[in-house]
Amino acid sequence: MRIEFDTPVQEALKMSTDVVDVFKRNDLYCPGCHGMSQDTIKTVIVNNGLDPDKFLKELNESVK
């Protein structure tokens, strides 16, 4: 299973506990925010000025 730009944050967080670590390393506290049930990975990237390719790569490596 791969994480894509349109993957809901809540779904990504359920894939592996290592996904949570990726969020924390990037100073993102999505596991505790109210928007996690509505936001996608793309929303998080855009709202936080992250490098899209790098962040997606980190996420997908964490679910291998």
- Does 1 map to a domain? no
8 phi/psi in degrees, rounded to 5: -65, 140
> What is the pTM (predicted TM-score) of this model?
0.88
Q: What is the number of structural domains in the chain?
A: 1
The per-residue pLDDT for 12 is: 94
- Does 4 map to a domain? no
Distance CA 8, CA 22 (A): 15
For residue 28, CA distances in Å to 33, 47, 49 come to 9, 11, 11
Name the token pair of 49.
């000025």
- Does 33 map to a domain? yes
The boundaries of the domain holding residue 47 are 9-62
- Does 39 map to a domain? yes
The per-residue pLDDT for 60 is: 97
pLDDT digits (tens), the chain, 64 positions: 899 999 999 999 999 999 999 999 999 877 677 777 789 999 999 999 999 999 999 999 999 8
- Does 43 map to a domain? yes
The per-residue pLDDT for 33 is: 75
- Does 35 map to a domain? yes
